[in-house]
Structure 1
């Protein structure tokens, strides 16, 4: 077991830092705006909360009007439910892939981490995480990546002086140096 709380708290802080004029900005997620990414964050937080409870769910698919409160509240629920031992038992599904509950938690922390980085980059915020969280995302990359490819595309090149976050982002198939186009 590991705690999703720090990653959920970081994501809540990043969500709070988004301004209305940033909702149409591009993100490192091809074809997604910041608004689309926020909708996805709410969606996956809802799904992984339901998965921990072993309950079916129809998650939101578009950005809800009260996203500034709804997303952080859902992230709090996500962190809380994964602190229950029963969340780590049995099986669950992520993206249509059946897996152990523990592997499902690995996918959840990957979503929090990688999309946290995406949101930070798209909105000009800093992104900070710890080694334990990155260790879990490394597990995700090992589970769903293959030789030369990350789970979301070919591994990107990293500069020689890349830090661990940049290396991990590159391993997922994202450009660790991505910047939004000048506004």
Structure 2
């Protein structure tokens, strides 16, 4: 589990760096996540970090507060919560799925939405091979269910030689070549 938490830690560092560089005048820009502009996606990502922190601790998820500025502190708490081996044990009482799957869902949220924000604001977002493989493996397994639940759009075709992360983006319904 330490390896998985290292992936999350690196993803949070990478995404927090993007978030810190977002300017006020960029908050209304569209993102590859069609349901959100930059401000909305920041709020969603901040909420997701808070939610995955509570889920790792097997605590009740706090009510949504709409704070789009709290990602960094909430994500640090999320990493700390998932650093405990017991976080990965059993089933999520809230989501009804194995805690290892809950972790992968949280990792995917941080990585894919970090990429969304970077693309929307003209920043780079490099994903290391290990993280790309982990997110792709999760998306290979969960994207069909995610589409049925309305969490993902229809898959976007990617070239045969696409990287694992580009494949994950395509499975989530995103165009890896998206530009504002």
Q: TM-score of the superposition, structure 2-length normalised?
A: 0.87
Confirm or deny that 1:47 pairs with 2:45: no
Contact map agreement 2:135 2:165 (CA 8 A) in 1: no
Contact map agreement 1:156 1:175 (CA 8 A) in 2: yes
- Report what 2:108 is aligned to: 110
Unaligned runs of at least 5 residues, structure 1: none
Contact map agreement 1:36 1:63 (CA 8 A) in 2: no
State the shift of 1:158 in Å: 2.2
CA distance in 2, matches of 1:60, 1:73: 15
The one-character-per-residue Cα deviations of 1:60-79 (angstroms, maximum 9, x if unpaired) are 35234xx1xx2211111111
- Report what 1:91 is aligned to: 91
Bigger share in strand: 1
CA distance in 2, matches of 1:6, 1:60: 26
Instruction: Choose from 125, 130, 133 the match for 1:132.
Output: 130
Task: Return closer, same or farther for 1:33/1:9 CA change in 2, 3 Å cut-off.
Answer: same
- Pairwise CA RMSD: 2.1
Task: Return closer, same or farther for 1:20/1:87 CA change in 2, 3 Å cut-off.
Answer: same
Contact map agreement 2:133 2:164 (CA 8 A) in 1: no
- Report what 1:122 is aligned to: 120
Contact map agreement 2:92 2:102 (CA 8 A) in 1: yes
Contact map agreement 2:82 2:88 (CA 8 A) in 1: yes
Confirm or deny that 1:176 pairs with 2:164: no
Unaligned runs of at least 5 residues, structure 2: none
Bigger share in helix: 2
- Report what 1:34 is aligned to: 38
State the shift of 1:139 in Å: 2.7
| DSSP-derived class of the 2:92 partner | strand
State the shift of 1:161 in Å: 5.5
In the alignment of these two chains, the number of paired residues is 173
